[in-house]
Chains A and B, each alone.
Chain A
Amino acid sequence: MIDVSWMTGGKQGTGIDSAASLFSKVLVKNGYNVYGYREYFSNIKGMHSFFTIRASDAVVNSQSNKVDLAVFPDKESVFGEKNEHGETIHDGHIKDVKSSGMLIVDKSVDVSQIKRNDIKVVQVDFDQIINNVAKKMGVKSSDVMIAKNTSIVTISAYLFGVDTEILREVIGSEFSNKGEAVIKMNTNTLDETLNYLKTLSISSLIKLAPVKNDDQLLLEGYEASAIGKAIAGCKMQVYYPITPASDESVFLESHPELGIRVVQPESELAVIGMALGASIAGVRASTSTSGPGFALMTETISYAGMTETPIVVVDHQRGAPATGLPTRTEQADLEFAVHQGHGDFSRIVIAPGDIEEAISITAEAFNYAETFQVPTIVLSEKSISQIYKSIKKSYIENFKDSYRIKRGKLVDKAGYDGDFKRFSFTEDGVSPRLIPGRSDHVMWIAGDEHDEYGHPYEEPMNRIKMMEKRNKKNELILKSIDRNEKFNIYGDLDKADLLIVSWGSPKGAILDAINEKIAFLQVKIIEPLDPEIGNIIKRAKKAVCIEENISGQLRQHIASRTGVLIENQILKYNGRIIDKDELKDGLDRVLKGEKKVILNDY
């Protein structure tokens, strides 16, 4: 099996993203599976960002902690940086190169300071390559500087033994809307870089021979949740800009053929109100946000619970509390999502663990919201919505074919005399709903406690019945939803020495780290929580809960809902994603008896 990792880095705003995106596409076009992840500061220009890609002929779900090849155009990526107080901003990436791996640095770097005898360090004169391209094209070097990224990708493709003609094709399609001159600049850079490499007499690290694999496409996580919304028939997306959630809305807006109205009002308070207004008007409506914006929506989520209005909110979690770490990952909104809003009401909180599930779970969320008439929160994460991953094209097509839009009790007629009872008492607690202006009736809705007609009503017997109607939906939800939508089990529960319990993005590293002696329970529907989860944990020889937060929120939630407290924990809370190697190490430590393992490497 081929399993290689790569890294580049540089100052934000210099196009490091486009280097990584180009190289990912080259690898996918060569038939490989890729997993890419970006680490960056909350900054537009100047701060250090870096990008890792792992490629394999097998499926890859996470990143490695070391790379085979690192290519850096700047000194800071190599040695790190300090701020004006002498504090470390980051400590560079020399340590991230695998033993016997290769580090490509700029000619200006003092290689004697690298001090690693176990790796090969090669200097490249990026400026000379750029100057040659500029001379050839008769333009200023500064106009060609952006093509340094293509130079990085050319070197990377060459050293990974990938046919650089694939890069030429990718340049053609990637820059097709930027005009011939841009394509020419990049292909010239490709050629100049190849010429330059000939002078260095280095051979490739590995040979990534082409693999026949036409059914692949490269998706970024936010595109996945957007596709899920599109398939579900979402026709109105309301949002307020926030990292890392806005990408999803911008992507929807850039595809008008989907027929989705994207509206950006003045605040998250307006966002959730507008989305609920649209939902009451009969449209599948949604929003995407991150922790701070989600917090601002709180009162209105409670209103959605009280008025039994379907709504889907995707929370792309990031480091919290407060503004926290806007561009880093964390799984710390679970308990907030479960309890958000004053008072008691049923809701659904559901978490995808990878890009494929970001499509399917986001789409299913709309069916849940309308079937049960409850607010439905999809807990995504920066480490899902901002990863690049190759997935099977047929996955999207197959999911779209198998998915059915279920709008629940949406009716045209009351079927009885008198005014429409929007909140009629029914056996399952869900009342028929109508589209205002498109039926024979009018209807009333109130956030005050109300009677069946939706008029404010404070009489105690009515209050009891309404509270029970809204809160007994939890049972209905658990009864109605299939087990495989609530959680996944990987491995053999009876044979495993260790049961991992987790949710969300750690799934990737877990799948890449487990063996036949370890089973994995991935919780998808977090609220209401299936009591069966408690039984599974109780039966395990040993269980560990893995989460990217400091307090072990899923563990606490499972304990509060089932009375079962998972004995062991693996936690990470430095804002960085768990990689498969550190996770393997963590699992070994738990198997040897450590009860609480903190993984704070990055």
Chain B
Amino acid sequence: MTINLSDLNSHEQNDWCPQCGDAGILLAVKSAIIQSNLDPKKVVDVSGIGCSSKLPNFVNVNGIHTLHGRPIPFAEGVKIANPELTVFVNAGDGDTYGIGVGHFISAGRRNVDIKLLIHDNGVYGLTKGQISPTLQENLKVKGWPEPNINGALDPLSLAIIAGYTFVARSQSYNVKELTELIVKAVQHKGLALIDILQGCPSYNPEFTSSAWFSAHTHPLPDTYNGIVSDPSNLEEVNSKKLQALNILMSENIENKHTGLFFQWENADTFEDRMKRSKIPPPIDEEISDAEGRSTVDLSGIMKSVST
């Protein structure tokens, strides 16, 4: 079955601002689904709240538009229930690194095979431009009257420390690079983060314009290789993590890299760990016979509660 981009359009028209970076992300998501040969019916795109999170409505795949900050647990729930689904999270930096940061960090402990595509524009767009957790201290953006007095967190370093097994950065106006990274994330077995520097022309034109990104972001050097070659070699894993942290710490707002910072293939995923418990994926378990009678085996319980 071959599908093309137009097959992936839902009947909804997007209502993003002109030049919004989300349009580029939307195109990259659809392109990556095609390039990865995914069956749209087996794709679930989970989103939070905000401009970013409208995205699933514009794609002809299953879409779950959840609550502010909560798309990660919803996505984990979907994937644990039915591991054959490809599960994306499209959410904002406020969603993921602000109100939902506990879920973002904790996801690293589980390594559930979901793909986070985080729209990172430094502001809360839909509520008209308040500062987000990734806006650097002292920056003044259009939507906010004063310079930022909060420090910024670096989602990539945090993800590496937290246990993410695929950590990348791209930007919304480089659809080609972003598409390639999403395809790699889909191929990757395990939890993936792509932090997408996203243009917000309405509230953060200063630091997220296409021109700004062209001037201040550049691909990781050719000599940089973030992929762990021997997944069982924990020394190599740690040295690749340190390599990524080193380059991330060398960055500033005027000098950021894009590309794949770290990848540890075949790390133990949550699905692997669950398989070892011998319990089948929840969706594959028959719960009743043709008449609706429960088919659960209570013999073990009856034995344990009998005197």
**A interface bracket (residues with beta carbon within 8 Å of B):** 35 or more
**Does A531 make an interface contact (CB < 8 A)?**
no
Query: Out of A223, A270, A285, A436, which one reaches B103, CB within 8 Å?
Result: A270
Kindly list chain A residues whose C-beta atoms are within 8 Å of the C-beta of B66: 273, 303, 447
A447 to B43, CA, bound (A): 20
Kindly list chain A residues whose C-beta atoms are within 8 Å of the C-beta of B63: 442-446, 454
Q: How far is the CB of A254 from chain B (nearest CB, A)?
A: 8
Query: Out of B77, B297, B302, which one reaches A396, CB within 8 Å?
Result: B302
- List residues of A (183-238) whose CB comes within 8 Å of B's CBs: 216-219, 223, 226-227, 230-233, 235-236, 238
Kindly list chain B residues whose C-beta atoms are within 8 Å of the C-beta of A443: 62-63
Q: How far is the CB of A531 from chain B (nearest CB, A)?
A: 30
- List residues of B (41-94) whose CB comes within 8 Å of A's CBs: 41-44, 46, 49, 54, 56-57, 60-67, 69-70, 72-82, 84-85
A286 to B75, CA, bound (A): 16
Instruction: Check A217 against B77 for contact (C-beta < 8 Å).
Output: no
**Does B280 make an interface contact (CB < 8 A)?**
yes
A151 to B84, CA, bound (A): 56
Query: Can you identify 10 A-B contacts, CB atoms within 8 angstroms?
Result: A259-B280, A270-B73, A274-B76, A281-B77, A281-B283, A283-B81, A283-B282, A404-B291, A419-B10, A444-B56
Given the interface pairs A28-B307, A280-B64, A448-B65, the reply to whether A441 lies near B75 with Cβ below 8 Å is no
**B interface bracket (residues with beta carbon within 8 Å of A):** 35 or more
Kindly list chain A residues whose C-beta atoms are within 8 Å of the C-beta of B46: 277
A441 to B62, CA, bound (A): 8
Given the interface pairs A259-B296, A266-B103, A277-B76, the reply to whether A216 lies near B282 with Cβ below 8 Å is no
Given the interface pairs A235-B282, A265-B106, A277-B75, the reply to whether A303 lies near B304 with Cβ below 8 Å is no
Kindly list chain B residues whose C-beta atoms are within 8 Å of the C-beta of A401: 293
A316 to B133, CA, bound (A): 37
Instruction: Check A281 against B85 for contact (C-beta < 8 Å).
Output: yes
Besides A230-B298, A274-B76, A436-B85, 13 other A-B contacts (C-beta < 8 A)? A219-B305, A226-B301, A235-B287, A261-B279, A269-B70, A274-B80, A285-B77, A299-B67, A404-B292, A435-B82, A436-B44, A442-B41, A446-B65
Beta-carbon nearest neighbor of B100 in chain A: A269
Instruction: Check A235 against B62 for contact (C-beta < 8 Å).
Output: no
Instruction: Check B41 against A436 for contact (C-beta < 8 Å).
Output: yes
Question: Which A residues have a C-beta under 8 Å from some C-beta of B?
Answer: 25, 28-29, 170, 173, 216-219, 223, 226-227, 230-233, 235-236, 238, 255-261, 263, 265-267, 269-285, 299-300, 303, 393, 396, 400-401, 403-406, 419, 435-448, 453-456
Instruction: Check B282 against A236 for contact (C-beta < 8 Å).
Output: yes
Kindly list chain A residues whose C-beta atoms are within 8 Å of the C-beta of B296: 230-231, 233, 258-259, 400
Kindly list chain A residues whose C-beta atoms are within 8 Å of the C-beta of B302: 217, 393, 396
Q: How far is the CB of A35 from chain B (nearest CB, A)?
A: 15
Q: How far is the CB of A412 from chain B (nearest CB, A)?
A: 12
Instruction: Check B102 against A218 for contact (C-beta < 8 Å).
Output: no
Instruction: Check A25 against B77 for contact (C-beta < 8 Å).
Output: no
Instruction: Check B81 against A277 for contact (C-beta < 8 Å).
Output: yes
Instruction: Check A233 against B298 for contact (C-beta < 8 Å).
Output: no
